């Protein structure tokens, strides 16, 4: 058998201070060196991505006085994928007086991630969560309010308190508009430059430190070099490796993958989340899937017919012939079990022949009881835009007929490895939001993505990046003529020329679609050793064909979306291999990573803490060379490791 990987030296987070976990963040903030406002104006930062993490970071660093360059491939920062988040944002404010606290949010997040996240990072996230809500309210974000005018909250999966603040079903959009306004204020003040329709294609590393990026102007094709004193990646996750996902079609992994190839460790790539509440696949024509917010599980009841093959109209199936399987299997949490649990349960029902809709790949999400109890007006107020979206896509009225849902790839918990300061293994390269691995372990709780993105951008990065600047003063003026910058541009240009000169017979999209089907089949909701090894063979063969038979039309010096997609899909091939290797090496089930060889008698995920309580951080060792596994041990002093149960 070909060696899949080697094992290198262990790593550890050297930035997290010791002492009681409740005091660590304040201790780190106090211990970090400060820079006076006049000196900040002399320092520059590049930020790639304008979603919640990137926009909030750019706005805050610009406000602090740093010279910031912000890059996005969209035509406006407002079109970042954070806009698609629907259901809400968590915070430990306990407005409902139902027992919530910072410690409970911390505990729920560590437990929800199946004990595969750092305690220090997660506690800090819970600690700053309340400040996020205050910040966003001050910006004018129109959170929902209760009858008395106070901010309203609702429940989400994996918790038994109501801590999720929301703006109808448009929470991500409203939060992004708030961050965007803060960003544009700094653009007007002259501290931030925004470069739209520019895609990062490589990282410039000089003397071991991140000092700039190479970007392509997506309109003209011109390659540009931008240098700075530090680089921040806020470029999102990599779910589109599966081709069909809930992510926007343009979402990709190129920024983080190019950094990985330059030395940044990539952590836990096999931890990819399957969301249980997605509109099912309707045919071969689709390029993406549409998410229905997890918030719908607050009032909607999930069920399937008890008898396999029951093709009756769901309104004609009486209660006695329905299986509300989540309520039956998990009575303590019911329909609000975490996403990984709900997704596997839906798959099991469909595999048993009780699925509904085309191909039997769906379950019902029914609002009949909630509508009868609360009235249609109340349902419209809470979920109206989601119901309208479902109606437009399926031509079925969810007020009259139950929605059909099925799990789909959504979020990625894996990402570039970072320490407590959010700095990667490359000095001067910071990674925020979904692009890093840090907070969610093996499974993200719903409504925590927006919380992490804004926590990183508004409150954490601005308090840690200054320490890097003080300890790493720039002693050399860097510009585009530096040999390492020229080398990076030449490499990008050569790669582009390769794509344009292959002149094969297959489209880029056909390769992406086939790759996605392989990864979904063998490294999706379930994985096993035999399937993962088979997938690695298929991916390798398909990747070889890609580099000899892909057809990229047009030229570089123009708007060329085929060329853009070719570069992204090429990176997806390499990432897919690492995902399968990571999944193969982790012979346990935890959270969204479910190995069929490691499950309890009743089919739940079975962790192996003695062997796998660590972060798997992978080092790139060169083309056609096996990656190197670097382990960061996870220690738990504030939460007891137990078998996760929601029953």
Which DSSP category does 280 fall into?
P
Spatial separation of the C-alpha atoms in residues 207 and 194, rounded to whole Å:
27
* 312's tokens: 């009756």
Cα–Cα distance measured from residue 455 to residue 89, given in angstroms and rounded to the nearest whole number: 11
Residues 291/84, Cβ–Cβ less than 8 Å: yes
Helical segments of 233-338, H only: 254-261, 325-329
Which residue bears the tokens 């596997």?
A: 344
- CB-based burial, 433-466: b 16+ in 10 Å, e otherwise: bbbbbbbbbbbbbbbbbbbbbbbbbbbbbbbbbb
For residues 518 and 638, what is the distance between their CA atoms, to the nearest angstrom? 40
Q: Where are the alpha helices (DSSP H) in 324-413?
A: 325-329, 339-351, 368-374, 376-394
**Is residue 47 classed as helix, strand or coil in its secondary structure?**
strand
Note the residue count of the chain.
Answer: 647
**CA–CA distance, 617 with 265 (Å, rounded to integer):** 6
Start-to-end C-alpha separation, the chain: 42
Chain CA centroid to CA 270, Å: 12
Pairing of strands 67-71, 44-48: parallel
CA atoms within 13 A on the CB side of 338: 27
| Active-site amino acid positions | 339
Pick the closest to residue 88 from 14, 146, 152, 140 (CA basis).
152
Tell me how far apart the alpha carbons of residues 528 and 531 are, in angstroms, rounded to a whole number: 5
Q: How far is CA 611 from the centre of its chain?
A: 26
Q: What Å distances lie between residue 472 and 210, 211, 467, CA to CA?
A: 11, 12, 9
Judge whether 273 and 592 are in contact, CB under 8 Å.
yes
| CB contact burial 333-348 (16+ within 10 A = b; e otherwise) | bbbbbbbbbbbbbbbe
Distances (CA, A) of 200 to 51, 71, 203, 225: 15, 8, 8, 10
Regarding beta strands 429-431 and 89-90, do their DSSP bridges make them parallel or antiparallel, or are they unpaired? unpaired
Please, where are the H alpha helices in 395-480? 449-454, 461-471
Rounded to 10 degrees, what is the CA torsion of 628, 632, 634, 635? 150
Q: 448, 441, 452: which is closest to 414 by C-alpha?
A: 441
CA 370/CA 383 separation, integer angstroms: 12
Nearest Cα neighbor of 602 from 643, 543, 571 is 643
């Amino acid at each position: 058998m070909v060696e899949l990987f080697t094992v290198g030296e262990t790593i550890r987070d050297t930035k997290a201070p010791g002492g009681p976990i409740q005091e660590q963040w304040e201790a780190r903030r106090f211990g970090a060196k400060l820079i006076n406002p006049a000196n900040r104006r002399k320092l520059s930062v590049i930020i790639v991505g304008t979603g919640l993490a990137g926009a909030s970071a750019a706005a805050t660093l610009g406000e602090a006085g740093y010279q910031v360059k912000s890059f996005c491939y969209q035509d406006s920062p407002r079109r970042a994928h954070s806009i698609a988040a629907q259901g809400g944002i968590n915070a430990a404010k306990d407005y409902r007086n139902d027992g919530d606290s910072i410690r409970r949010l911390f505990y729920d997040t560590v437990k929800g991630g199946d004990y595969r996240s750092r305690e220090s990072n997660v506690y800090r996230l819970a600690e700053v969560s309340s400040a996020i809500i205050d910040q966003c309210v001050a910006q004018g974000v129109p959170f929902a309010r209760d009858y008395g005018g106070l901010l309203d909250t609702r429940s989400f999966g994996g918790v038994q308190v109501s801590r999720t603040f929301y703006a109808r079903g448009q929470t991500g959009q409203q939060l992004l508009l708030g961050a965007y306004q803060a960003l544009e204020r700094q653009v007007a003040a002259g501290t931030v430059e925004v470069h739209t329709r520019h895609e990062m294609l490589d990282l410039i590393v000089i003397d071991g430190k991140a000092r700039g990026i190479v970007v392509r102007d997506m309109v003209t094709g011109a390659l540009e070099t931008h240098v700075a004193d530090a680089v921040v990646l806020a470029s999102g996750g990599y779910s589109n490796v599966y081709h069909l996902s809930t992510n926007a079609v343009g979402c990709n992994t190129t920024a983080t993958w190019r950094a990985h190839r330059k030395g940044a460790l990539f952590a836990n790539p096999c931890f990819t989340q399957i969301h249980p509440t997605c509109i099912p696949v309707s045919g071969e024509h689709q390029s993406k899937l549409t998410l229905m917010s997890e918030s719908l599980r607050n009032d909607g009841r999930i069920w399937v017919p008890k008898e396999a093959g029951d093709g009756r109209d769901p309104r004609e199936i009486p209660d006695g012939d329905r299986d509300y399987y989540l309520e039956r299997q998990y009575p303590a949490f019911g329909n609000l079990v975490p996403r990984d649990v709900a997704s596997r349960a839906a798959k099991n029902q469909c595999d048993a022949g009780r699925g509904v809709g085309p191909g039997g790949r769906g379950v019902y999400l029914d609002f009949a009881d909630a509508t009868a109890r609360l009235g249609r007006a109340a349902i419209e107020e809470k979920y109206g835009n989601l119901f309208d979206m479902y109606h437009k896509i399926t031509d079925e009225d969810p007020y009259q007929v139950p929605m059909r849902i099925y799990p789909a790839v959504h979020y990625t918990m894996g990402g570039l490895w970072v320490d407590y300061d959010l700095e990667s293994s490359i000095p001067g390269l910071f990674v925020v939001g979904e692009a890093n691995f840090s907070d969610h372990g093996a499974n993200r709780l719903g409504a925590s993505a927006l919380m992490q993105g804004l926590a990183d951008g508004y409150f954490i990065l601005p308090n840690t990046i200054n320490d890097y600047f003080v300890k790493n003063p720039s002693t050399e003026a860097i510009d585009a003529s530096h040999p390492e910058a020229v080398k990076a541009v030449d490499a990008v240009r050569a790669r582009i020329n390769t794509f344009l000169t292959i002149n094969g017979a297959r489209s880029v999209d056909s390769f992406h679609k086939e790759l996605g089907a392989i990864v979904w089949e063998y490294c999706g909701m379930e994985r096993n050793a035999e399937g993962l090894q088979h997938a690695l063979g298929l991916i390798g063969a398909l990747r070889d064909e890609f580099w000899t038979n892909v057809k990229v039309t047009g030229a570089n010096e123009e708007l060329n979306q085929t060329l853009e997609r070719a570069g992204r899909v090429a990176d997806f091939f390499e990432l897919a291999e690492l995902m399968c290797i990571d999944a193969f090496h982790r012979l346990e089930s935890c959270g969204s990573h479910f190995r069929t060889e490691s499950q309890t008698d009743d089919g739940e995920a079975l962790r192996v803490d003695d062997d796998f309580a660590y972060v798997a951080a992978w080092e790139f060792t060169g083309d056609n060379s096996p990656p190197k596994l670097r382990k960061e041990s996870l220690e738990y002093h504030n939460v007891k490791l137990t078998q996760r149960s929601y029953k």
